[in-house]
């Protein structure tokens, strides 16, 4: 009876050791995966970061028009705000940027109704639209000839960055304009003379916010990063299209 009692008392201790061991192993695995993810990101960053593509493509541009700057534009991340005139439809973003002095100028405007031609014809070296077209009704974009208009505004190039296919998006900053309304594919730009490359990773692995759709997230994030060399040359497979049209 005493022996049975001793074994019974040992069970919680054994369970505690097992649980602690499992947590230790999980911690080691998580640290290892995080380390691998960081290494892979650095490895891929030099060739497959759209921010670097954007920086390179804008190096010869002294004036930029950004349509739909949002709250945290990629142009600010690469240090181009000082030579950029930006517009957005959400007043709080305009106030934020003007208070911080992020842009050469930043104004409130609806890009579906703002006058572009002839008012701004050939005024800017580049026009940039990042993560904006998917927020607009595609039929309206086509009806008003928005892409044709911005191609006349640019002296050197137009740069577009959009998700491929339909991707759900949540309202952020109480900004209902954040909703996604339209579907865009690489063919929409290629037919207009744009050079298109794929970005972010395989579209089937990623979803809202360009985050992995499946568990375990860290593994699928690694797979998405590793797929970037593939989607770079095959933008139809990519989460995003990075499209550039040189104006002649």
Architecture per CATH, domain 49-246, reads as 3-Layer(aba) Sandwich (3.40)
23: left (phi over 0), alpha (psi -120 to 50) or beta: alpha
Extended beta strands in 151-236, E state: 154-163, 195-202
Per-residue model confidence as pLDDT tens for the chain (248 residues): 555 555 555 566 556 656 666 656 655 554 554 555 555 555 555 688 999 999 999 999 999 999 999 999 999 999 999 999 999 999 999 999 999 999 999 999 999 999 999 999 999 999 999 999 999 999 999 999 999 999 999 999 999 999 999 998 888 889 999 999 999 999 999 999 999 999 999 999 999 999 999 988 888 998 999 999 999 999 999 999 999 999 98
Q: What pLDDT score does 170 carry?
A: 81
Residues 117 and 167: their CA atoms lie apart, in Å, by: 31
Residue 229: which residues within 8 A CB-CB, separation 6 or more? Answer: 47, 48
Locate all alpha helices (DSSP H) within 80-211, ordered by sequence.
91-100, 138-144, 146-153, 186-190
Domains of the chain, by residue range, sit at: 1-47, 49-246
Residues 2 and 12: their CA atoms lie apart, in Å, by: 17
Q: What pLDDT score does 218 carry?
A: 86
Residue with tokens 């100028």: 105
Residues 79 and 59: their CA atoms lie apart, in Å, by: 11
Per-residue CA distances from 48 to 128, 149, 160, 228, 243 (Å): 19, 30, 16, 7, 14
Q: Could you tell me which residues are beta bridge partners of residue 86?
A: 66, 106
Q: What pLDDT score does 248 carry?
A: 86
């Amino acid at each position: 009876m005493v022996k049975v009692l001793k074994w019974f008392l040992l069970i919680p201790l054994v369970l505690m050791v097992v649980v602690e061991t499992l947590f230790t192993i999980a911690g080691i695995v998580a640290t290892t995966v995080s380390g691998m993810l960081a290494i892979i990101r650095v490895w891929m960053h030099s060739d497959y970061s759209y921010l670097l593509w954007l920086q390179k493509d804008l190096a010869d541009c002294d004036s930029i028009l950004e349509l739909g700057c949002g709250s945290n534009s990629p142009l600010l991340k690469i240090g181009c705000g000082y030579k950029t005139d930006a517009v957005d439809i959400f007043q709080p973003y305009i106030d934020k940027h003007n208070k911080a002095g992020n842009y050469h100028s930043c104004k409130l405007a609806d890009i579906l109704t703002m006058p572009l031609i002839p008012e701004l014809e050939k005024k800017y070296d580049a026009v940039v639209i990042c993560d904006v077209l998917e927020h607009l009704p595609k039929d309206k974009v086509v009806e008003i000839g928005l892409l044709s208009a911005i191609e006349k505004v640019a002296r050197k190039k137009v740069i577009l960055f959009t998700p491929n296919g339909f991707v759900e998006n949540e309202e952020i900053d109480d900004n209902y304009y954040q909703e996604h309304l339209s579907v865009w594919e690489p063919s929409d730009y290629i037919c207009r003379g744009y050079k298109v490359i794929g970005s972010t990773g395989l579209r089937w692995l990623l979803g809202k916010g360009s985050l992995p759709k499946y568990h375990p997230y860290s593994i699928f994030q690694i797979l998405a990063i590793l797929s970037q060399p593939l989607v770079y040359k095959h933008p139809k497979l990519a989460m995003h299209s990075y499209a550039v049209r040189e104006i002649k």
